[in-house]
């Protein structure tokens, strides 16, 4: 989940490496480090506990200089966050390595290497890589061969870059389960775990495939498949003009991304919809024909993406008449499941690199699904490349660790999938038109809803001292309550739970007292009366209610109930609209509590480890 950057150039690469780390910091941020080879051919390394800023300050105090280098921002999996566990790790002041992922057989390798005289200075799994490469070099004296031999002994997931002091104009790269991309320059080349890191220096990229080992020098790039055969991988030019490093007028990326949702959603819809419904090409060439065969949909995802899948299940069965299951990827991948005939496998992930989702896709492909569809925000990601069909959410780069615009655009993608599946089934022509028009109105509705920000900011004060919160919803708003609770947990560290409102009396009602805020998601649909009864159940027990309601539902604010009126919208769109005030609530609560909103503790953006 960490960030990796590397460079081989003629110029000093320190600033390129540090800027790359700043851009990747959202992926992992408990410690950071850099190692370069200068004109004196000496390995210079600086590592720090904490964020990239601390590393940059250390480098400013004690400048490094070098034209070949590697850098890393860490999200610890093995060994606590500390300077000695920060990457790059070195072996005998010769080999330096940065690594993303987990080496599962590290303990066994460590004890063998220790018996052979290698001295370990950290608790990480990563350090075995440095020593392994050095050991192999003693017999081959060829860095490429040494790395190939070393990686053949590793089990687990990795993206890595290796530097050898005695071969100063070369970097070795390897990928298995963690993304790795080469950035092509003129007379210089780069590497990173995400192209975003390299946008200031290049727009031309080569994505390594699973099992690839590559070497880059200033002028050459040589890539080898897992069996050691030279291979060519396509060069892709990115048109990304968006400077993700810029917060604009916003205090945090999360707030910026919340406010970008109307634009993100209109980008998601563009060119995919006309008055009659979803265009045939929306899910890829030939997808429309394939979708006609589908009788069942299996959705797999994690975290926020899982919540979007849960919403889709309500839509899919109610509107398209297609049965649907939704499962957490880390569960699906380790159990035996039964695939119904004519099933579609849908995976959802912002980054397309979520380790569990990717593993679930790989498993799913062996189980007999008709086809696989990825709903994803990152073109060229592993999930997209390995799925038969892909729907790109076009949300733009999302930096805040707590997902916002990726979620709402996933919902839009799933809504379009429902329309596409419904075409040949229960959705009549008129209903298709109605739903297409509703989707088209969405960006405007989102704009309207965001106007509530000042009201919600005031409300957030009530939560400053709270330790717990309960979120309630019914129907497709139940997953939205779950997403609201997750957001609050992630960034404000308040313990929050979501319940289907009908479940209250089966347990959670016991928790309700004056210290427990209860947030209710209450659009004006056919479940409103039921929900109103649930609200009364809470009131009778002295709970303080915060009700996000449709303005036409006419809930009234009173001493024990604050009502936040939302604009009336098409019933189908409520999960998307009601997400926004809950995002804003968690954001403003986190700001009041003074947490690190964009980089909350213990989390990272792109969960590329299991």
Which residues are the active-site residues?
Answer: 2, 605
Q: Looking at beta carbons only, is 1 or 603 nearer to ligand GLU?
A: 1
Determine if 78 is a binding residue for ligand GLU (CB under 6 A): yes
Task: Label residue 93 left, alpha or beta by phi (over 0 means left) and psi (-120 to 50 means alpha).
Answer: left
Determine if 47 is a binding residue for ligand GLU (CB under 6 A): no
**Residue that is written with structure tokens 């839509």 in the block:** 315
Determine if 522 is a binding residue for ligand GLU (CB under 6 A): no
Give bridge partners of residue 43 from the DSSP assignment: 37
Q: Looking at beta carbons only, is 353 or 550 nearer to ligand GLU?
A: 353
Q: Looking at beta carbons only, is 76 or 273 nearer to ligand GLU?
A: 76
What is the smallest separation between the CB atom of 100 and ligand GLU, expressed in angstroms?
Answer: 4
What is the smallest separation between the CB atom of 127 and ligand GLU, expressed in angstroms?
Answer: 9
Q: Looking at beta carbons only, is 77 or 579 nearer to ligand GLU?
A: 77
Residues 6+ apart with CB under 8 A from 189: 7, 8, 9, 182, 183, 216, 217, 218, 219, 220, 221
Rg (CA), the chain: 25
What is the smallest separation between the CB atom of 350 and ligand GLU, expressed in angstroms?
Answer: 18
Give bridge partners of residue 71 from the DSSP assignment: 5, 34
Which candidate, 460, 487, 329, 477, places its Cα nearest to that of 404?
Answer: 487
Alpha-helix runs per DSSP H in 215-302: 253-259, 261-269, 287-292
Which candidate, 361, 258, 341, 329, places its Cα nearest to that of 297?
Answer: 341
Q: Looking at beta carbons only, is 25 or 167 nearer to ligand GLU?
A: 25
Q: Looking at beta carbons only, is 100 or 397 nearer to ligand GLU?
A: 100
Which candidate, 454, 421, 443, 469, places its Cα nearest to that of 264?
Answer: 443
- The 327-356 contact track toward ligand GLU, x by CB under 6 A, reads ------------------------------
Which candidate, 549, 271, 302, 501, places its Cα nearest to that of 410?
Answer: 302
Number of residues that bind ligand GLU (CB under 6 A): 16
Determine if 174 is a binding residue for ligand GLU (CB under 6 A): no
CA 87 to CA 47: how far, in whole Å? 7
Determine if 194 is a binding residue for ligand GLU (CB under 6 A): no
Q: Looking at beta carbons only, is 126 or 148 nearer to ligand GLU?
A: 126
On whether the CB atoms of residues 42 and 165 are closer than 8 A, the answer is: yes
Q: Looking at beta carbons, which residue is closest to ligand GLU?
A: 2
Determine if 2 is a binding residue for ligand GLU (CB under 6 A): yes
Per DSSP bridges, beta strands 89-91 and 95-103 are: antiparallel
Which one of residues 28, 69, 168, 303 is an interface residue with ligand GLU (CB under 6 A)? 28
What is the smallest separation between the CB atom of 155 and ligand GLU, expressed in angstroms?
Answer: 13
Q: Looking at beta carbons only, is 122 or 586 nearer to ligand GLU?
A: 122
Give bridge partners of residue 93 from the DSSP assignment: none
What is the smallest separation between the CB atom of 180 and ligand GLU, expressed in angstroms?
Answer: 12
Per DSSP bridges, beta strands 181-184 and 189-192 are: antiparallel
What is the smallest separation between the CB atom of 442 and ligand GLU, expressed in angstroms?
Answer: 37
Footprint (CB under 6 A) of ligand GLU, residues 84-143: 99-102, 124-126
What is the smallest separation between the CB atom of 130 and ligand GLU, expressed in angstroms?
Answer: 12
Residues 6+ apart with CB under 8 A from 65: 12, 14, 36, 38, 39, 44
Determine if 76 is a binding residue for ligand GLU (CB under 6 A): yes
Footprint (CB under 6 A) of ligand GLU, residues 584-603: none
Segment contacting ligand GLU by CB under 6 A, of 68-76, 318-326, 564-572, 586-594: 68-76
Which one of residues 26, 75, 259, 555 is an interface residue with ligand GLU (CB under 6 A)? 75
First to last CA, the chain: 10
Binding site for ligand GLU (CB under 6 A): 1-2, 28, 74-79, 99-102, 124-126
């Amino acid at each position: 989940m960490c960030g990796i950057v590397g460079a081989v150039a003629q110029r000093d690469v320190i600033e390129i490496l540090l800027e790359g780390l700043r851009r990747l910091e959202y992926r992992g941020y408990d410690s950071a480090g850099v190692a370069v080879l200068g004109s004196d051919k000496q390995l210079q390394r600086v590592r720090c506990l904490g964020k990239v800023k601390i590393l940059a300050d250390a480098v400013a105090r004690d400048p490094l200089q070098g034209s070949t280098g590697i850098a890393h921002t860490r999200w610890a999996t093995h060994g606590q966050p500390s300077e000695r566990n920060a990457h790059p790790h070195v072996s005998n002041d010769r080999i330096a390595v940065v690594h993303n992922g987990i080496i599962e057989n590290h303990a066994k390798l460590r004890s063998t290497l220790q018996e052979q005289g290698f001295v370990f200075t950290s608790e990480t799994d990563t350090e075995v890589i440095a020593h392994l490469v050095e050991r192999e070099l003693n017999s081959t004296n060829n860095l490429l061969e040494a790395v190939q031999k070393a990686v053949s002994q590793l089990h687990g997931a990795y993206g890595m870059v290796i530097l050898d002091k005695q071969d100063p104009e070369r970097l070795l790269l390897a990928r298995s389960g963690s993304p790795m991309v080469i950035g092509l320059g003129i007379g210089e080349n780069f590497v990173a775990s995400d192209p975003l890191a390299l946008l200031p220096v290049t727009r031309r990229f080569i994505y390594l495939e699973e099992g690839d080992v590559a070497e880059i020098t200033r002028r050459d790039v040589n890539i080898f498949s897992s069996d050691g055969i030279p291979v060519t991988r396509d060069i892709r030019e990115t048109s990304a003009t968006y400077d993700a490093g810029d917060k604009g007028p916003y205090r945090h990326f999360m707030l910026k991304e919340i406010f970008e949702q109307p634009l993100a959603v209109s980008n998601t819809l563009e060119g995919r919809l006309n008055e009659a419904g979803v265009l045939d090409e929306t899910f890829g060439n030939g997808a429309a024909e394939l979708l006609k065969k589908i009788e069942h949909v299996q959705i797999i995802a994690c975290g926020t993406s899982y919540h979007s899948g849960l919403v889709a299940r309500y839509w899919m069965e109610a509107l398209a008449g297609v049965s649907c299951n939704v499962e957490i990827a880390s569960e699906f991948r380790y159990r035996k499941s039964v695939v119904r005939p004519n099933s579609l496998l849908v995976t959802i992930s912002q980054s397309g690199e979520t380790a569990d989702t990717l593993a679930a896709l790989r498993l799913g492909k062996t189980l007999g699904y008709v086809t696989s569809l990825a709903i994803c925000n990152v073109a060229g990601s592993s999930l997209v490349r390995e799925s038969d069909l892909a729907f790109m959410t076009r949300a733009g780069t999302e930096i805040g660790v707590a997902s916002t615009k990726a979620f709402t655009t996933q919902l839009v993608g799933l809504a379009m999938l429902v329309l596409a599946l419904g075409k040949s089934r229960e959705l009549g022509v008129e209903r298709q038109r109605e739903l297409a028009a509703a989707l088209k109105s969405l960006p405007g509705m989102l704009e309207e809803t965001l106007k509530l920000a000042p009201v919600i900011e005031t409300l957030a004060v009530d939560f400053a001292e709270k330790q717990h919160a309960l979120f309630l919803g019914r129907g497709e708003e139940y997953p939205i309550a779950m997403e609201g609770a997750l957001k609050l947990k992630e960034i404000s560290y308040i313990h929050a739970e979501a319940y289907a409102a009908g479940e209250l009396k089966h347990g959670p009602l016991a928790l309700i007292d004056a210290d427990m805020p209860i947030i209710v998601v209450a659009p004006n649909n056919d479940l409103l009366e039921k929900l109103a009864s649930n609200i009364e159940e809470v009131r009778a027990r002295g709970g303080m209610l915060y009700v996000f309601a449709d303005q036409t539902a006419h809930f009234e604010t009173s001493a024990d109930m604050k009502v936040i009126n939302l604009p009336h919208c098409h019933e189908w769109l409520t999960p998307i609209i009601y997400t926004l005030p809950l995002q804003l609530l968690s954001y403003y609560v986190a700001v009041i509590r003074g947490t690190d909103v964009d980089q909350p503790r213990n989390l990272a953006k792109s969960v590329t480890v299991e």
